[in-house]
Structure 1
Amino acid sequence: TSRSHQNENKREKPGRGDTQRFNLKREVGIIGAVSFIAGTMIGSGIFISPQYVLSAIGSPGASFVIWTCCGILSMLGGLCYAELGTVIPESGAEYIYMLRTAGKVVAFMFVFSFIIVMRPASATGIALSIAEYVVAPFYNGCTPPQLVVKLVAAGAIIVLAIVNCLSVRLATAIQVVSMAIKLLALTVIILGGVVMLFKGHTENFENSFEETNVNVSSIGIAFYQCLWSYDGWNTLNCLTEELKHPHVRVYVYYS
């Protein structure tokens, strides 16, 4: 009726005392949402961490147990974030959840440490891993200079920052392409392992729990390296406001 139309017009045209809220463009679809999580999780860690997990825990059998436990923990975390993402459909992930529950002080302390320490350290580790792989073909048979590795890592961080600032669509497209390449690489590695198993190379599974390191420090390091590989399951909630139909995208992926 006329009264309801008047109320709608009031909402669309805020008065002087009202504040107009700026919204992010919803340009991320289902493929982009999947690529943001899968592409982030399938990163440098999965290609580097397995050797450190095995060396820390000491045996292939215990290594598989660690990987299984970390996978279950990551799955439970993803399911919790699916619920949080649909209940609080705002970008920011941990920051916005702490702001809504624990208050401004706790949220500020988290986001301050996240921006100053946590995220730069994580980005630096990933960038250095990328740089090691990039410069390795140019220094065959010898260790590449650390200065070159650091310069390439810094260049990678700058390029990715520029891409994310320029366009969400461009960043999503690059994420989808990189996810496809990483899935292809993992498929080749997995198929190679299956072929070796069928050829009878099963010596690593004989007495697979021998020489297992059961001390707390070894188990902790193995869990740390393994969880580093699984890291990224919370990425989608950082851009909930940029998702098309966030209740559908978040729930469908995590389910």
Structure 2
Amino acid sequence: MLADEKMDNEDNDTGKVYLKRELGLTSAVSVIAGTMIGSGIFMSPQFVLYYIGSPGASLCIWAACGLLAMLGSLSYAELGTVIKESGGDYIYILRNVGSLPAFLFAYTSVIVMRPASIAVISLSFAEYVVAAFFPDCPSPEVAIKCTAAACVLVLGIINCLNVRLAMSVMVLFTAAKLLVLAAIIVGGIVLLAQGNTQVLQNGFENTAVGFGPVGVAFYQGLWSYDGWSNLNFITEELKNPEVNLPRAVIIAIPLVTCFYVLANVSYFAAMTPQELLASDAVAVSWGWKVLGTWTWIITLGVALSTFGAANGSLFCGGRMCFVAAREGHLPDALSMIHVKRLTPSPALIFTCFIAIILIIPGDFSSIVTYFSFIAWIFYGLTISGLIYMKIKKPDIPRPYKVPIIIPVIVLIAAVYLVLAPVIDTPRMEYLYVALFFLSGVIVYIPVIHYKWSPGWFHSITLHLRLLLQVAPADKHD
């Protein structure tokens, strides 16, 4: 059967193999919702409240973040139905803006942003799992890091083995985390029905206004919405992408936004703003207030949520690494797929390797935050490419399209989100991140522009190809 699958996906002339189109609408919705819902909504809503100052304004920020994610996703859906290639931002920047900006995105994302995101989510998973074995004392740091590394290894094996297995994990864990959020929402409805509406009265009192506070509050909320563009990284594996890509966006983003806003309403129904700000894990504090000894349900929910989010981040991150290598911006070995399993195993293994290395120091969550402002630079570049296509190439066939005002709004928001945190709280860390970003230019000139490659590199690629049983991948027609 595996041999038949290989023949179905192999080019008879070149001997190259293809990624299979195995993902339907359910899987597509799960990719978006499953990667968006991680630990953020359970652990860190207090940061939005901290910067914006009031519960009412906090709820507005959460709703506005969902609206921005929706507008961005709709814009990306048009890009995905015109440029039907995997790779997300990377491939859109490459096709519309140029080789150097695309390389800088791949360089930053593959080396730091994607593996660091996987590492952070895995550490969150490990903290909740290990805490169950140390109820009366702090969890040993070594145990947390080993558990996080084991999480990454297990996910790497799952994703290398089979696409359908990885998607089954995604669908199952997405359903589980939505059930936990539903339990929190129902608990909030009960509290409101019992008259616990004090916090929502005068809900906009002490609201912070100004360019900086609003921008930073958006920044914190959007961290929990991160993943809204992940489906575009796997377009070549999506069945009927012209239909399923926009459909999945229209289903998943409003669903997640409603769950996020209602979960925050529930938090405010159970806790005062002061209690919420003092909490390290808001959902657990809510659990002790509302569920008592049944709080373990919330703890289990956070563990399931983070595991599922890490799986989605690895699945999509591996594809981005794979596509960048296929376009010549990363080593050739990373552009190959397993000849039988048809998974981009070298790119997945490399992403897992970097993530595990980043788990070792552990104290780098602030780095991820600082790199997030660069992510919005790339969002802006991608959206600029869409606006350029709409103006300069209006006759390109578009199975799905959005009014030009939508990408314009997203572009304005991206510029605002890049400038707001830097202006509000300028720090040296932003300079360090910018220097790392620009160091990619130094790598690009000899390696990509002049195509410098050491002689032994080809030999290593050949040995890895034999060891991992992989072959060069081609694109779908």
Does 2:130 match 1:135?
yes
Name the residue aligned to 2:343: none
Q: Which residue of 2 aligns with 1:30?
A: 25
AA paired with 1:47? F
Code of the aligned partner of 1:233: W
Cα offsets for 1:150-186 (capped at 9, x unmatched):
2211211121122111110000000000001001000
Q: Alpha-carbon deviations, 1:115-169, whole Å to 9, x = none?
A: 0111122112211111122122222243212222222112111211221111100
- Residue 96 of structure 2 aligns with which residue? 101
Distance 2:184 2:242 in 1: 35
AA of the residue aligned to 2:245: V
- Report SS of the residue matched to 2:44: helix
Aligned pairs for 1:66-77 within 5 A: 66-77=61-72
**Where does 1:39-78 land on structure 2 (aligned, <5 Å)?**
39-78=34-73
Who is 2:206 aligned against? 211
Work out the CA distance in 2 between the residues paired with 1:13 and 1:157: 36
Is 1:254 the equivalent of 2:249?
yes
Q: How does 1:187-206 map to 2 (within 5 A)?
A: 187-206=182-201
RMSD: 1.7
Aligned pair in 2 of structure 1 residues 151, 64: CA closer, same or farther (>3 Å)? Answer: same
Partner residue of 1:82? 77
Structure 2 residue corresponding to 1:119, chosen from 100, 114, 117: 114
Separation in 1, partners of 2:15, 2:102:
24
Count of residue pairs the alignment pairs up: 240
- Taking only the aligned residue pairs, the percentage that are identical comes to 55
Partner Cα distance (2:210, 2:100) in 1: 38
Task: Tell whether the 8 Å contact from 1:81 to 1:234 is kept in structure 2 after alignment.
Answer: yes
1:238 aligns with 2:201: no
Q: Distance in 2 between matches of 1:216 and 1:129?
A: 31
Task: Give the match for residue 422 of structure 2.
Answer: none
* Alignment partners' CA distance in 2, 1:143 and 1:110: 39
Letter in 1 for 2:143: V
Partner residue in 1 for 2:384: none
Q: Name the aligned partner's letter for residue 126 of structure 1.
A: I
Residue identity in the other structure for 1:54 = L
Question: What are the superposed Cα offsets for residues 174-207 of structure 1, whole Å, 9 maximum, x if unpaired?
Answer: 0000001001000000000010000000011121
Between 1:212-221 and 1:115-124, the stretch displaced more is 212-221
In the alignment, residue 174 of structure 2 is paired with which amino acid? M
Shift of 1:217: 4.8
Deviation at 1:221, TM superposition (A): 3.4
Instruction: State the 1:13 CA deviation.
Output: 6.3
> Counterparts of 1:21 and 1:80 in 2: how far apart (Å)?
32
Question: In structure 1, what residue type is equivalent to 2:134?
Answer: Y
Q: Distance in 2 between matches of 1:250 and 1:216?
A: 34
Asked if the contact 2:22/2:164 (under 8 Å) is kept, the reply is yes
Contact 2:29-2:249 within 8 A present in 1 as well = no
TM-score by length of 2: 0.48
SS at match of 1:203: coil
Closer, same or farther: CA 134–27 of 1 in aligned 2, 3 Å: same
Deviates more, 1:122-131 or 1:83-92: 122-131
In the TM superposition, what are the counterparts of 1:180-191 in structure 2 within 5 Å? Answer: 180-191=175-186
C-alpha distance in structure 2 between counterparts of 1:128 and 1:57, whole Å: 28
Q: 2:143 maps to what in 1?
A: 148
Task: Look up the match of 1:3.
Answer: none
Counterpart contact for 1:23–1:241, Cα < 8 Å: no
Which letter does structure 1 place at the counterpart of 2:83?
Answer: I
- State whether residues 59 and 210 of structure 1, in contact with CA within 8 Å, keep that contact through their aligned partners in structure 2: yes
Letter in 1 for 2:67: I
Shift of 1:254: 2.1
